[in-house]
Amino acid sequence: MDIYGETFESRLMLGTARYPSPDVLKAAIAASGAQIVTVSLRRESAGERAGQAFWDIIRETGCRVLPNTAGCHSVSEAVTTAQMAREVFGTDWVKIEVIGDADTLQPDLFGLVEATRVLSEEGFKVLAYTTEDLVAADRLVEAGCRVLMPWGSPIGSARGLNNVYGLRAMRARFPDLTLIVDAGLGVPSHAAHAMELGYDGVLLSSAVALAGDPVGMAKGFRLAVEAGRLGFTSGPLAPRDMAEPSTPVLGLASFA
């Protein structure tokens, strides 16, 4: 998976919030094989000592850190949070979230494009949490974004891919852009489905953190992502409306 010129073997990205303990978090990251983890600035700096301890845990994993602007509801809030995150984490990468609806946590696409433009001009490498809307995607690319992260379904809903047609259309529109399905994945089969559509990766958090066995679920998602990618790259059969026998009929004996 390529992100702004850097190549990663793992196509699974993992959030770091809401785990039952630091040890479970570390074990889940290891089981997932993830090389990139997302971190909220609010989480890291919740308290001076607690924040430093959390940051030490993340460093120990050896993963690349992707700060996000989770919880931001305006352009100014998202931009300021991104600027602060760059200072705290020492990276130009940022996952931009500008939430427009409190119930669905759907992105504010207008604000997202504006924030992306501002941050791109400041040298940030933006990964944009968006919907499958193609017009918004075009505007984000024009604003400087090179990694689009359309939602599968609302954050934390565990509903999987609500709009397969829209996600497939986005993949077709941007064949050379890095696309990562973000949000709403609840079980490994959801991740496999996203990968079978040709997406470059998936990002998930609650599905692992809140599972009965986070470590086992992390491993399940890792295997699903690998299987889905193989399913896409190996040339799957096209769907048919009618049956087609799997056993050749030529050469069979005739008893007529």
Nearest alpha-carbon partner for 191 in 239, 225, 157: 225
In a domain, 185, yes or no: yes
In a domain, 255, yes or no: no
Q: Is 74 annotated as a binding residue?
A: no
Contact 183, 155 (CB under 8 A): yes
What is the residue type of 203?
Answer: L
Q: Is 111 annotated as a binding residue?
A: no
| pLDDT for the residue 223 | 98
Question: What is the rounded average pLDDT of the residues 83-111?
Answer: 93
Is 34 buried (19+), middle (13-18) or exposed (0-12) by CB count in 10 A? buried
In a domain, 249, yes or no: no
In a domain, 239, yes or no: no
In a domain, 252, yes or no: no
CATH classification of the domain holding 28: 3.20.20.70
Q: Is 251 annotated as a binding residue?
A: no
| pLDDT for the residue 193 | 97
CA distance to 68, 107, 123, per residue, from 91 (Å):
11, 23, 11
In a domain, 256, yes or no: no
In a domain, 245, yes or no: no
Identify the band that residue 42 occupies on the pLDDT scale cut at 50, 70 and 90.
low
| pLDDT for the residue 133 | 96
Element (H, E) at 223: helix 214-233
Domain that holds residue 130: 10-234
Question: What is the rounded average pLDDT of the residues 8-16?
Answer: 96
Identify the band that residue 50 occupies on the pLDDT scale cut at 50, 70 and 90.
low
Identify the band that residue 54 occupies on the pLDDT scale cut at 50, 70 and 90.
confident
Q: Is 70 annotated as a binding residue?
A: no
For 2-36, give the DSSP string.
Answer: EETTEE-S--EEEE-SS-S-HHHHHHHHHHHT-SE
| pLDDT for the residue 49 | 45
Which phi and psi (to 5°) does residue 60 adopt?
A: -65, -25
Contact 36, 58 (CB under 8 A): no
State how beta strands 178-182 and 201-204 pair. Answer: parallel
- The label of the residue with tokens 């994945």 reads 185
Catalytic residue list contains 219: no
* Domains identified in the chain, total number: 1
In a domain, 253, yes or no: no
Q: Is 205 annotated as a binding residue?
A: yes
Is 111 buried (19+), middle (13-18) or exposed (0-12) by CB count in 10 A? buried
Element (H, E) at 126: strand 125-130
